[in-house]
């Protein structure tokens, strides 16, 4: 990786600890290295988390960041190549197609494949510590003393929370999660299963009031991802107990038609299982002293927005760029990072609540009305308008060069 020398004369705050090695963390590590910083990434999972659900990039800003990182071709090669998604009825009859760009943007890729590409682009120059987590942080005038759940304590100049919706850095430096995580009234689950419907680069979605269940093919149709969304007030469960979460999902979808019983049966043996509330993160002020938030930890727009991944990548580019531009002065850099990103992040968050109501209608009448109207979807203009609106949102930032 070529590094620039902006920091040569001002080696301030070079040692940066990043919590989280999914999208935002490795992307930030890449840009920090390019600008001459010395990042360390700590990830709670014992190894890079592979596979996962599909995420997407859309519009100029997202693609420009990928291009400037030199990973655009790798990302294109790993793209899912997903076509239209079909709404189906109880017996599986296709009702209406939703165009590919609505769900999949310009490039859709499995989150784990993206994480792998970003990791490969940084692993030679960046220290990665897997299977550990920050336990405590104590800041003084010149740096941060960090203790870990497993490793020995270390000192860093700055700490970045790129550790997602349930960020540990946010809890430690900003306060309890309940202050910042806004529940959108839905839960979702995703797991990998057989492509037993023989889906060819497509997916099927089935709606009943307060429930949405779907299956889409992945990895060139060799497997499929089962997805579930259901309306529910915030529930208390153990986030590390997948057995308990599977029970909740099975109860929520008991009696739901289409292929749901088969999917629920497959769930018990799934090689992976993701379950969480559909939430947004709203933090007024993304930094506290030497700690700063990035990606979902700062401003999760929720899976329903389809914006989180691109926003995390753009945020990583901007945060590293502003740190370099300020010669490592974190006060100036964090303020400018937020100035550049805040409006963009707000735009990415906007609309997710409305999407929740349309995608998973709670009200029986609305659900019935939607199902009657699926067959009209090919003829109404708003699908195209939604896709265009999403593109406008994704492009609503002008990227500086940051001396690269």
Ligand X SMILES: Cc1cc2nc3c(=O)[nH]c(=O)nc-3n(C[C@H](O)[C@H](O)[C@H](O)COP(=O)(O)OP(=O)(O)OC[C@H]3O[C@@H](n4cnc5c(N)ncnc54)[C@H](O)[C@@H]3O)c2cc1C
- Binding site residues, ligand X, CB under 6 A: 19-25, 42-45, 49, 53-56, 111, 133-134, 162-164, 168, 188, 190, 295-297, 303, 306-310, 312
CA distance 361 to 230: 9
Interstrand relation of 211-218 and 85-88 (parallel, antiparallel or unpaired): unpaired
Q: Which is nearer to ligand X, 133 or 371 (CB)?
A: 133
Tokens of 366: 């609305």
Q: Which is nearer to ligand X, 88 or 134 (CB)?
A: 134
CB of 393 to ligand X, least distance (A): 11
Let me know: does 159 contact 173? Beta carbons within 8 Å: yes
CA distance 12 to 75: 33
Q: Which is nearer to ligand X, 303 or 347 (CB)?
A: 303
Q: Strand, helix or coil at 271?
A: coil
CB of 48 to ligand X, least distance (A): 8
Q: Which is nearer to ligand X, 7 or 281 (CB)?
A: 281
Tokens of 324: 């370099």
Tokens of 388: 């265009």
CA distance 54 to 51: 9
In this chain, which residue has its C-beta nearest to ligand X?
308
CB of 353 to ligand X, least distance (A): 16
Q: Strand, helix or coil at 178?
A: helix
CB of 240 to ligand X, least distance (A): 11
Direct distance between the N- and C-terminal alpha carbons of the chain, in angstroms, rounded to an integer = 13
Rg of the chain over Cα atoms, rounded to whole angstroms, equals 21
Q: Which is nearer to ligand X, 239 or 247 (CB)?
A: 239
CB of 91 to ligand X, least distance (A): 27
CB of 348 to ligand X, least distance (A): 9
CB of 375 to ligand X, least distance (A): 25
Give rounded-to-5 percent helix, strand, coil for the chain: 40, 25, 35
Nearest to 322 by CA among 311, 338, 300: 338
């Amino acid at each position: 990786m070529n590094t620039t020398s902006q920091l040569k004369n001002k080696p301030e705050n070079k040692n940066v600890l990043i919590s989280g090695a999914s999208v935002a963390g490795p992307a930030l590590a890449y840009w920090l290295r390019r600008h001459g910083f010395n990042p360390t990434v700590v990830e709670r999972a014992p190894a890079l988390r592979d596979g996962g659900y599909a995420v997407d990039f859309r519009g100029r800003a997202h693609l420009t960041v990928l291009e400037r990182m030199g990973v655009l071709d790798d990302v294109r090669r790993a793209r899912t190549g997903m076509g239209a998604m079909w709404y189906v009825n109880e017996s599986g009859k296709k009702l209406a197609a939703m165009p590919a760009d609505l769900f999949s943007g310009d490039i859709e890729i499995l989150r784990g494949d993206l994480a792998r590409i970003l990791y490969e682009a940084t692993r030679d120059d960046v220290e990665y510590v897997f299977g550990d987590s920050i336990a405590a942080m104590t800041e003084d005038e010149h740096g941060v003393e960090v203790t870990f759940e497993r490793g020995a304590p270390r000192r860093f100049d700055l700490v970045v929370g790129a550790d997602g919706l349930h960020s540990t850095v946010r809890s430690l430096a900003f306060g309890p999660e309940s202050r910042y995580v806004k529940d959108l009234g839905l839960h979702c689950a995703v797991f990998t299963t057989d492509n037993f419907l023989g889906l060819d680069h497509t997916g099927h979605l089935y709606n009943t009031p307060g429930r949405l269940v779907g299956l889409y093919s992945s990895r060139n149709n060799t497997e499929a991802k089962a997805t579930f969304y259901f309306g529910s007030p915030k529930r208390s469960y153990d986030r590390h107990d997948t057995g308990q979460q599977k029970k909740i999902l099975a109860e929520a979808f008991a009696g739901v038609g289409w292929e749901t019983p088969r999917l629920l049966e497959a769930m018990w043996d799934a090689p992976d299982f993701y379950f969480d509330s559909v939430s947004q993160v709203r933090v007024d002020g993304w930094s506290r002293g030497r700690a700063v938030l990035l990606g979902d930890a700062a401003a999760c727009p929720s899976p329903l927005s389809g914006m989180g991944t691109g926003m995390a990548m753009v945020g990583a580019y901007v945060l590293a760029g502003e740190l370099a531009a300020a010669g490592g002065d974190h006060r100036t850099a964090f303020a400018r990072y937020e100035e550049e990103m805040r409006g963009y992040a707000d735009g990415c968050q906007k609309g997710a609540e409305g999407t929740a109501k349309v995608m998973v209608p709670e009200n029986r009448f609305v659900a019935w009305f939607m199902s009657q109207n699926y067959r009209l979807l090919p003829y109404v203009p708003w699908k195209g308008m939604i896709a265009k609106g999403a593109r406008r949102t994704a492009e609503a930032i002008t990227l500086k060069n940051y001396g690269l």
